[in-house]
Structure 1
Amino acid sequence: MDVKESKLIDMLIEGRKSAFEQLYYSYSNRVFNLSFFLLKDTGWSEDVVQEVFVKLWENRTSLQRNQNIWAYLYVMTRRHALNKLRSVRRSNACFERLWMQFSEPEDSLHNAIAAKELNENIKRLLGLLPLQQRTVFSLSRLEGFSHQEIAEQLNISRNTVKNHIVQAVKLLRNKILHQNLFLLIVIFSF
C-alpha cells in the first residue's frame, strides 16, 4: 500500500468527503466490473456499486490505517453481488409461486366451466337424436363399445348399428354447423 492511499484512508476515517470521493473515483469502475462479472446485469451492478460505497462510508471508522482498501472493497462487492443474486432468486421463486396460485385456480375453474358447458352441449345435442340413434351413438362414441358388441346388446344387425351411427353423426354435424354459423352471423353482423 502506498503512502497516498494510507493518507486517504486516514482522511476517510476522519469523515472527509474529499477522501471518499477520491476513493470512489479510483475504485468504482473496478467494483462495477467485478459486480458485472458476477451478476451479468448493468443495473444490478450499478446498485452494488452504490451499496458498497455507502457501506464504506458508514463503516469508515472501523477501517485500519494500513488496510488494503481494494481487498476490503472486493470482499464487500462479492458479498453484495451474491446477496443480490439470492434476492433475485427468492423474488423469482416467490413470483413463480404467486403466479401458480393465481393461474391454477383460474385454469381449473376455466376447465371445470368448459367441461360443464361441453357436457351440457353433448346432452342437449344427443337429446335431438331419435331414441335408437341416441342409444347406439352413446354406446359407440361415449362408452367405447364395438359395432358387434352394440349389435349383440341391442339385438340388431351390425349394418343397422353402422347406419344409426352414420345418421347420428350427420344430424349432429348439421346441428353444430348451423349453431356455429348462427354464432358467426350474430358476431359479424354488429
Structure 2
Amino acid sequence: MTELVVGGDVDGSPELGDTTPRPDAAGATRLSGGPDFSETTWVSRAQDGDPSAFEHLVRAYEAELFRLAYRMLNDRGEAEDTIQETFVVVWRQLPTLNDAQAFRAWIYHIATRRCLNVLRRRSRQRTEVTRGDDFEAETLPHTRTDDSGDSPETAVTTAAQRQSLEDVLGTLPHEQQACWVLHELHDLTYPEIAYATGVPLSTVRGRIARARQNLAKGMAAWR
C-alpha cells in the first residue's frame, strides 16, 4: 500500500517495526515496535498532533483494514484508495474522538462506511471489479494457504470450496456481507459491529444470522 504521509518529515524515518496491537497481561492493547505505550496513549499523543504516534497507529491497523476493504470490494486498487482515504479522515477527525479506548471500533466504523459507500456507488454505476491473483491470501489470513503438503486432489477440492464461498459471499446484500466479515474475519464483537455499521445491535444480530443461513444454503453441496 502507498505509505500515508500524515504531516511532518516521515519519509526516510527509521523503520518502526511490527506495531500489531497486542493485549498485555492486564488485557490492555499495546503496540509493539516502540515504547511500551498502550494504544490509548498512542491515540492521545496523536490527538495532540504527534505525527509519529499516528504513524504507529497506521502501521498497526493498515494491514487488517486493507483485508477488510479487499474482502468487501474485491478490488485491490479500490481497497488501497479506500484505506488511504480512511486514514486521511481519521487523522483529520481524531481530535473529535472523545474516548481513546474506542479508537479500534471508531476506525473500523470509518473504514466500513467508506467501503459501503463505494459499493453503493458501484451499484449505481454497474462497474466491473478485478481481483488480484492473491485475493484469497490477502483476505483470508486465518486460512492456511500453503497446501504443499496436501495431495493434488485435496488441493483442488480446497481451492474449489474456497471459490464457492467467495461466490456465495459475493451474492449477499452488502450490509449482510459487511457484518459477517467484521465478525468472522476481524473478530469484532456485536456491539463493535453495530457501532462500525451505524445500526442497532438487534439489526447486526439479524444480518449475521441471515448471512450464515444464506452461506449455509449456498455451501450445501460441500457438506
Of Structure 1 and Structure 2, the greater helix share is in: 1
Question: Which structure's relative contact order is higher, taking Cα pairs within 8 Å and 6+ residues apart?
Answer: 2
TM-score, structure 1 normalization: 0.46
The structure number with the bigger radius of gyration is 1
